[in-house]
């Protein structure tokens, strides 16, 4: 019956609220004492639930971490996409978005390290969520490529989506290297490296399409 769907039954509401409490407790403890040093028992206690209950909401401690991070990352990406530089190049836009994520991770490298390590290997419902998030990001950046392709600024024969996916891979690789290092580079330096890598991938888009007209409209002088 539809009435049941309308009113949020007591059970559902309790569950949702309990989930929030767990997330809040975990967030506070993780950032105060670090991921490894926080025990699930402490989280449960702070959330006011039994030690076992936590695992009815999250399959594992790692799973909990991923769930927390994903929400925050969503916000970061959304904000970055909303503030794209107006007059910048495609490369600038890519660096703007991924740079924002790097800055975010810089706030708490130990957490970020644990997160990245788990993110790509989670299973269950969270795995789908993670990949949806990545797909969304890829799609948005692919759209930026296609926009320029449509205006004739870039080689329209290149598969925009695949290029965007490659850039995500480059970002992750850089991030892993950065987070894994004993002595971490300043994020400015890190972003500069990322820019280099992106430039190398995106340069392909500037190539004259194999068959298409080569800027015939532009009065280019030949010797």
C-alpha dist (Å) from residue 52 to 41, 45, 49: 9, 11, 8
Judged by CB under 8 A, the residue of 18, 166, 184, 195 near a second copy is 166
41 lies in the site for DNA, by CB under 7 A: yes
Judged by CB under 7 A, the residue of 62, 93, 118, 165 near DNA is 62
34 lies in the site for a second copy, by CB under 8 A: no
Q: DSSP code of 48? A: T
Q: Return all residues near 154 (Cβ < 8 A) that are at least 6 apart.
A: 90, 145, 148, 205, 206
Taking CB within 5 to 8 Å according to partner kind, which of a second copy, DNA, none is near residue 61? DNA
Instruction: Say which residue the tokens 């030949």 belong to.
Output: 222
49 lies in the site for DNA, by CB under 7 A: yes
What is the four-CA torsion angle of 116, 122, 34, 97, rounded to 10 degrees?
A: 30
Shortest gap between Cβ of 204 and a second copy (angstroms)?
A: 4
How many CB atoms are closer than 10 A to CB 79? 12
Judged by CB under 8 A, the residue of 207, 209, 212, 215 near a second copy is 207
Shortest gap between Cβ of 197 and a second copy (angstroms)?
A: 6
As a three-state string, the secondary structure of 65-111 is HHHHHHHHHHHHHHHHHHCCCCCCCHHHHHHHHHHHHHHHHHCCHHH
Taking CB within 5 to 8 Å according to partner kind, which of DNA, a second copy, none is near residue 18? DNA
Shortest gap between Cβ of 7 and DNA (angstroms)?
A: 9
Q: Are 55 and 76 in contact (CB under 8 A)?
A: no
206 lies in the site for a second copy, by CB under 8 A: yes
Orientation of helix 109-119 relative to helix 160-180, angle to 10°: 130
Residues of this chain that interact with DNA (CB under 7 A) are: 4, 9-11, 14-15, 18, 38-41, 49-53, 55-56, 60-62
Footprint on this chain of a second copy (rule: CB under 8 A): 113, 117, 120-123, 127, 158-159, 162-163, 165-166, 168-170, 172-174, 176-177, 179-180, 182, 196-197, 200-201, 203-204, 206-208, 210, 220
């Amino acid at each position: 019956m539809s009435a049941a769907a309308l009113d949020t039954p007591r059970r559902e509401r309790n569950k949702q609220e309990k989930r929030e409490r767990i997330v809040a407790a975990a967030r506070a403890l993780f950032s105060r004492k670090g991921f490894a040093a926080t025990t699930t028992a402490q989280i449960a206690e702070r959330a006011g639930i039994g030690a076992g209950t936590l695992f009815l909401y999250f399959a594992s401690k790692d799973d909990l971490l991923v769930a927390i991070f994903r929400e925050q990352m969503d916000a970061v990406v959304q904000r970055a996409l909303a503030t794209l530089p107006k007059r910048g190049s495609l490369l600038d836009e890519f660096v703007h978005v991924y740079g924002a994520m790097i800055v975010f991770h810089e706030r708490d490298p130990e957490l970020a390290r644990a997160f990245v390590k788990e993110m790509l290997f989670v299973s269950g419902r969270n795995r789908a969520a993670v990949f949806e998030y990545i797909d969304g990001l890829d799609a948005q950046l692919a759209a930026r490529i296609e926009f320029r392709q449509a205006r004739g600024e870039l080689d329209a024969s290149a598969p925009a989506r695949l290029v965007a996916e490659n850039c995500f891979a480059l970002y992750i690789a850089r991030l892993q290297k950065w987070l894994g290092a004993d002595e971490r580079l300043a994020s400015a330096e890190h972003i500069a490296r990322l820019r280099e890598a992106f430039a190398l991938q995106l340069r392909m888009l500037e190539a004259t399409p194999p068959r298409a007209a080569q800027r015939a409209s532009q009065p280019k002088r030949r010797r």
